[in-house]
Amino acid sequence: MYSEKVMDHFRNPRNMGEMKDADAVGEVGNPVCGDLMYIYIKIKDDRIDDISFQTFGCGAAIATSSMITELAKGKTIDEAMKITRDDIAGSLDGLPPIKMHCSNLASDGLRKAIENYRAKQKKE
């Protein structure tokens, strides 16, 4: 059902866990629907210096969360904003069609985290 890459990220998730000193957090999904994702970011010189995730969800939800942390790390926040669901699914060698929309929320989560970071910057 899942590609080897999905299974690899599911079994050995990268950058997993809460980041206590994160600059911003993005939260997407809803446990009622079976998926909830937190993306934590730390920004240095407009770049994603550190990133981690916590996810409640199916295999695809966990693998996409793990993958976005790899894709986003080191990118400028403008570049990171441009990562799409398709980019994530592509990097994982594809996802089952039913999972494409439902569990592939990681790019939304990252965007949300960056938006929260920018809103915070404006306030300061």
Partner 1 sequence: MKYVYLDYAATTPMDPEVIKEIENHYRETYGNASSFHTMGQKAAQILENSRETVASFINAKTDEIFFMSSGTESDNLAIKGVAFKSKERGNHIITSAIEHHAVQHTCQYLEKQGFKVSYLPVDEYGLIDLKELEETITNKTILISIMFANNEIGTIEPIKEIGEIAKKHDVIFHTDAVQTLGKVPIDVEEMNIDLLSASAHKLYGPKGVGLLYIRGHGVRKGWGKYIEPLLHGGGHERGLRSSTENVPGIAGFAKAVELCKRNMKEESEKLTKFRDKIIKEITENIEDVYLNGHYTKRLPNNVNLGFRYIEGESIILSLDVEGIATSTGSACSSKSLEPSHVLLAIGQKPEDAHGSLRITMGRYTTEADIDYFLEKLPPIIEKLRKMSPLKKGKKYMFDPTYETDQHH
Please, what is the Cα angle at 48 between 42 and 53, to 5 degrees?
A: 60
Residue 102 annotated among the catalytic residues of the structure: yes
Copy the structure tokens of residue 108: 């939304």
Between 3 and 47, CB nearer to partner 1: 3
Active site residue 58: no
Q: Is 111 helix (H, G, I), strand (E, B) or coil?
A: helix
Least distance (Å) from partner 1 to the CB of residue 45? 28
Instruction: From the candidates 16, 50, 102, 118, give the one annotated as an active-site residue.
Output: 102
User: And the tokens for 71?
Assistant: 């894709």
Nearest distance, CB of residue 29 and partner 1, angstroms? 7
* Residues annotated as catalytic (active site), given as ranges: 33, 102
